[in-house]
Amino acid sequence: MNNNGIEEVRARLEEARSVAVLTGAGVSAESGVPTFRGAGGLWRNYRAEELATPQAFARDPALVWGWYNMRRETLADLSPNSAHTALAALEGRLEDFTLITQNVDALHAMGGSRRIVELHGNIWRVRCTGCGAVRENRDVPIAIPPSCDKCGALLRPHIVWFGEALQDDVIAAAYAALERCDLLLVIGTSGVVQPAASMAAAAKGAGAYVVEVNIEATPNTTVVDQMIVGRAAEMVPLIVGVNR
């Protein structure tokens, strides 16, 4: 156990005026969110990399929507865990706080976080392939093929797929927070998917104290000031100083 590290991080958090957090799939692991790569990662013999692409959607939108319906059904039953709620408590203590997430599961918002930058979109939003309108849609299952109530064109998930660029305003909001924060927490991300993989180094370069929470070492581990080894749902409440 890394108790010295936890004390140090708690003290730094007390002093910090601006805090940013970057989360990945690991923060949702203890809510039961299935990973892409682990057991159960296949759906009808397709891998996520074969479904979450603009090419797959152009070829067979009903197939891709079928997969999203399966994921929506799974996520609809899940709840935020103590890592999500501890981050919401931390936000409540700070005037300047930004939570940057790669997750599309919306569990941070359910856990009470408000200032969220969703790098990869949100599974409960749809976007029109015709007029570009973005809407919340919580139907489980969504009727296939879903169409826009404004222009009638096909709707797609409001999610950044493999091979697609992130939205400029989303990237800008993330980097602004990384550059102004005194402290960055990097939680449950493998640090291999860009641009999130460069964000710990960006914050560090801009002068922040950077802390990683993960069950194992990642490429970020060599960059950070403090590595806390453990499960997010256990370690984040300890760091933040809230009861689980």
214 - beta bridge partners?
229
Separation of alpha carbons 100 and 235, rounded Å: 18
Which residue of 27, 109, 116, 128 would you call a contact of Zn ion, by CB under 5 A? Answer: 128
> Toward Zn ion, which CB reaches closer, 151 or 172?
151
Sorted by sequence, the CB contacts under 8 Å of residue 18 that are 6+ apart come out as 94, 96, 97, 177, 180, 181, 182, 183
Q: Is 151 in the site for Zn ion (CB under 5 A)?
A: yes
Sites for ligand NAD among residues 30-89 (CB under 6 A): 30, 33, 35-36
Which residue of 82, 85, 98, 102 would you call a contact of ligand NAD, by CB under 6 A? Answer: 102
The CB-of-122 to ligand NAD minimum distance in angstroms stands at 9
E strand or H helix at 235 = helix 232-240
Binder of residue 226, out of ligand NAD, Zn ion, none (CB less than 5 to 8 A by kind): none
> Toward ligand NAD, which CB reaches closer, 35 or 147?
35
Token code pair at residue 202: 């960006």
Helix ranges, 47-102 (H): 48-51, 54-59, 61-76, 82-93
Which residue of 29, 64, 128, 210 would you call a contact of ligand NAD, by CB under 6 A? Answer: 29
**Contact range with Zn ion by CB under 5 A, out of 7-15, 33-41, 46-54, 124-132:** 124-132
Q: How far apart are the first and last CA of the chain?
A: 18
Helix, strand, coil fractions of the chain, as percent rounded to 5: 40, 20, 40
Q: Is 134 in the site for Zn ion (CB under 5 A)?
A: no
Sites for ligand NAD among residues 157-176 (CB under 6 A): none
Query: Which candidate in 84, 108, 120, 158 is catalytic?
Result: 120
**3-state SS, residue 41:** coil
84 is catalytic: no
Token code pair at residue 210: 């950077």
Q: What is the DSSP letter of 244?
A: -
Which residue of 24, 80, 111, 237 would you call a contact of ligand NAD, by CB under 6 A? Answer: 24
Could you list the residues that contact ligand NAD (CB under 6 A)? 24-26, 28-30, 33, 35-36, 102-105, 120, 188-190, 193, 213-216, 218, 231-232
Could you list the residues that contact Zn ion (CB under 5 A)? 128, 130-131, 148, 150-151, 153
